[in-house]
Amino acid sequence: MSHTGMGQTVVAAAVAGLLLWSCSREPADRYDPAKMDLKPVPAKLSSERHQGAFASGTSLSMGAELKPLDPSPVKEVRLDTVHKIIEIAPGVKFSAWTFGDQVPGPTIRARVGDRIKFSMTNRSDEPVSGVQLTAAPMMHSMDFHAAMVSPQDKYRSIAPGQTIEFEFTLNYPGMFMYHCGTPMILEHIASGMYGAVVVEPREGYPTRVDREYVVIQSEFYAKPDPQKRKVDGAPLYVLDGEHLRAAQPNYTVFNGVHNGMVKKPLVARTHERVRLFVLNVGPSKTSSFHVVGTIFDRVWLDGNPDNQLRGMQTVLLGSSNSAIVEFMIPEEGSYIMVDHHFANASQGAIGLISTEAKPSETELEHHNIPSIKTTPTEPEAARGKLAFESKCLACHSFGQGKKLGPDLAGVTRRRTDAWLGKWLKSPEIMLQTDADAKALLKDANNIPMPNQNLSEAEIREFVRYFHWADSQPAGSLAAEHPGH
């Protein structure tokens, strides 16, 4: 063999060996702890108070629309605590504890490798402008699920007037919860102290989208204030500790408000790709997140693209679990975001992604869309309104005309409370014995009203709501839905 031929053989063998060696090697571990920053500096505690705004930082998004990533490798974030009154449902003024003066707290957006320089003053002793203090100042703290730090150092509780500062580097991509970690943690989260940190992969997301929104699901456990205090003439609601410990919420909501994203839908256009950053903060219930009318093309569990699922109808999220979901808007319309645990949806876990500027709520019959946009301030009537919207709205309206069943406007002037109570409790018995009930059945094309198995308390709430609705000025209910 010539020297040239022998040399080519040697080179070929070397190349083949190199390829075999490279194929046998494991790919580099992007989560190798040796390449992570696990040496944060100690936290600092001082009595120097922040003034002015309760939140600041260029990486913060204050609402559902997620701002583009700030390219700075160091993110300075300030989220102060403050007690304030928030409206969790129409007319329901709740005594909340907050990060950054809002519930949920602002969303932080960063990327793997970024450093968060965080500071927080406990300003729970400061009165909010125009509102008298309704909760005593107390200890608070911050717990970032996105951080890898000593909880004893960074997540310590601080007293009113104190400020804590600490830093950490983001080592994992995902969508992470933050919350107050001061005992009882259950009460602090249920009072509104939570938010999200979105951490992009170092190289960015593998797909391109047209819209990005944050959807945070949470529960409220509210009861009328035992001291019967009021805010702007409406009853004050406070934390219901008994129902909180039993995991029996009054409201389960997206982004802090019952049906909030029905009144202000998320905007999208036909054939656009939408990316939702979905977090269930609980504190105690599971979410089965679903968007009616489309399919999740990609689901990244806990917001990490390495945890990918395709073609999903729903995504199951336990307390503090998250997911990034992507989907396409197939045609014009309003696409309903809902917790498919429909007990949660009936309490307000619902929203819209809409191609319409003002979607028609009357066409969205089966997802507890409000029957009347105004709400009674009396707690029993307010609960009756919510129950009516979750159980009865598909068949009945108030002042918008007959549907499958009769329009109920004026019902308390046509029927006595006793008759309404019997009808709500046992419609099947009334249909056997009561002439008026039989006439209603005939008028409804012989489609009977189902027995909703209402308790005595629920029946009282329905009747109180009916009386409230009938006490409104003539024509005002129909005017809530122009054209009906």
Whole-number pLDDT of residue 446: 74
DSSP 3-state of 231: strand
Structure tokens at 116: 């968060």
Whole-number pLDDT of residue 427: 85
Digit-by-digit pLDDT tens for the chain (484 residues) are: 555 555 566 555 555 555 555 555 667 888 998 889 988 899 999 999 999 999 999 999 999 999 999 999 999 999 999 999 999 998 899 999 999 999 999 999 999 999 999 999 999 999 875 456 567 899 999 999 999 999 999 999 999 999 999 999 999 999 999 999 999 999 999 999 999 999 999 999 999 999 999 999 999 999 999 988 888 888 999 999 999 999 999 999 999 999 889 888 999 999 999 999 999 999 999 999 999 999 999 999 999 999 999 999 999 999 999 999 999 999 999 999 999 998 898 889 999 999 986 765 545 544 555 544 567 778 888 888 877 876 776 677 777 777 777 888 888 988 999 988 888 888 888 888 888 888 887 777 777 778 888 899 888 988 888 888 888 876 555 434 333 2
Structure tokens at 254: 């997206």
Q: What is the pLDDT of residues 192-227, one digit of tens each?
A: 999 999 999 999 999 999 999 999 999 999 999 998
Q: Residue 209's closest CA among 108, 301, 327, 67?
A: 327
Q: What is the largest CA-CA distance in the chain?
A: 112
Q: Residue 196's closest CA among 217, 211, 210, 212?
A: 217
Whole-number pLDDT of residue 362: 46
Using CA atoms, how far apart are residues 178 and 166, in angstroms rounded to an integer? 15
Strands 322-328 and 273-282: antiparallel
Using CA atoms, how far apart are residues 277 and 463, in angstroms rounded to an integer? 40
Which residues, listed in sequence order, are joined to residue 253 by a DSSP beta bridge?
218
Residue 267 near residue 359, CB atoms below 8 Å = no
Q: Which residue has the tokens 């204030």?
A: 225
CB contact set of 106 (below 8 Å; sequence gap of 6+): 55, 57, 60, 61, 62, 79, 99, 100, 195
Give the H/E segment covering residue 413. Answer: helix 411-414
Whole-number pLDDT of residue 210: 98
Structure tokens at 286: 């599971």
DSSP 3-state of 37: coil
Q: What is the pLDDT of residues 438-450, one digit of tens each?
A: 888 777 777 777 8
Using CA atoms, how far apart are residues 214 and 75, in angstroms rounded to an integer? 19
Handedness of CA 292, 294, 299, 303 (dihedral sign): negative
Structure tokens at 222: 């509210």
Whole-number pLDDT of residue 98: 97
Alpha helices in 444-482 (DSSP H): 456-470
Whole-number pLDDT of residue 187: 97
Alpha helices in 232-283 (DSSP H): 241-245, 260-263
Tell me, yes or no, if the pTM score tops 0.95.
no
DSSP 3-state of 251: strand
Using CA atoms, how far apart are residues 57 and 116, in angstroms rounded to an integer? 10
Whole-number pLDDT of residue 109: 98
